[in-house]
Amino acid sequence: MIRLCILQAGDKNPKLRKPVPGYAELYRAMFAPHPQFQLEFIQVRHGEFPESIDDWDAFLITGSPAGIYDELDWITTLRELIERIAASGKPLIGICFGHQIIADTLGGKAVKSDKGWGVGVRKASITAETGLLPGMDSMNLICLHQDQVIKAPEGARVFAGDDFCPIAAYSIDDRVLCFQGHPEFTTEVVDAIMDYRADDIGAERVAQARASLTSRIDGAEITRAIVAFIEESKSVSVSSVA
């Protein structure tokens, strides 16, 4: 059994007008095909943090409505935890906000982009071989973000991107793996969020995003890549995987 600590940095907005699953339900569904993973959720957004990183085999930081530049105590503490996990060699996965704060903490930079919202199913070209996405020359993931990583962290290998979001995915050795897109999201989830935030996103971009929701989505493939990355990490023992 692999013990995966999900550091929950957000959850569904209770003001959404359409019923959708919360973060825990989405991540449980994401990892359901991989029963070797035992998930536990820690609400870092509420100031909860693991007592010891030694209790876990791997960590995953979720998306969040917060920006990494927000002056919030829990974001400061999360940065300190990221540094500890990265130094330990345990696998650390970042999704959306997680992707951004890991990069920014480990020597890269993330900002609110002047390109506006990246929303809907977006296609990123695979620009470097990782061994994690065999046979794929691009990946389609549901996106919902204003912030972007504009500088990868030290030692990172950027392996996916496009003109809108050049750093859509990166890894650092067998320790860090991050994606701007959401492998856990469903079209119903992003549609409900767009419905609520249409004024912020803009009518034209919402229309384009809704049209994209019929595209192929590679969430299962990206999940398998995350699973393989964690299982192949030198810090995850054979007994954990068994």
Whole-number pLDDT of residue 123 = 98
Catalytic residue among 5, 184, 221, 231: 184
Q: What is the mean pLDDT of the chain?
A: 95
Q: How far apart are CA 122 and CA 124, in angstroms?
A: 7
Catalytic residue among 5, 145, 178, 182: 182
**Is 145 noted as a catalytic residue in this protein?**
no
pLDDT digits (tens, 9 = 90+) for 117-164: 999 999 999 999 889 999 999 999 999 999 999 999 989 999 999 999
Could you tell me the CATH superfamily of domain 2-241?
A: Class I glutamine amidotransferase (GATase) domain (3.40.50.880)
pLDDT digits (tens, 9 = 90+) for 11-28: 988 889 889 999 999 999
Q: Tokens standing for 111?
A: 């900002």
**Is 80 noted as a catalytic residue in this protein?**
no
**Is 96 noted as a catalytic residue in this protein?**
yes
Q: Is the pLDDT of residue 238 over 70?
A: no
Q: Is the pLDDT of residue 98 over 70?
A: yes
Query: Using 50, 70 and 90 to split pLDDT, how confident is the model at 115?
Result: very high
Whole-number pLDDT of residue 237 = 62
Give me the residue spans of the domains in the chain: 2-241
Catalytic residue among 96, 143, 165, 178: 96
Q: Is the pLDDT of residue 242 over 60?
A: no
Instruction: Tell me which residue has tokens 């990246």.
Output: 118
Whole-number pLDDT of residue 175 = 95
Whole-number pLDDT of residue 17 = 84
Q: Is the pLDDT of residue 35 over 80?
A: yes
Entry pTM: 0.95
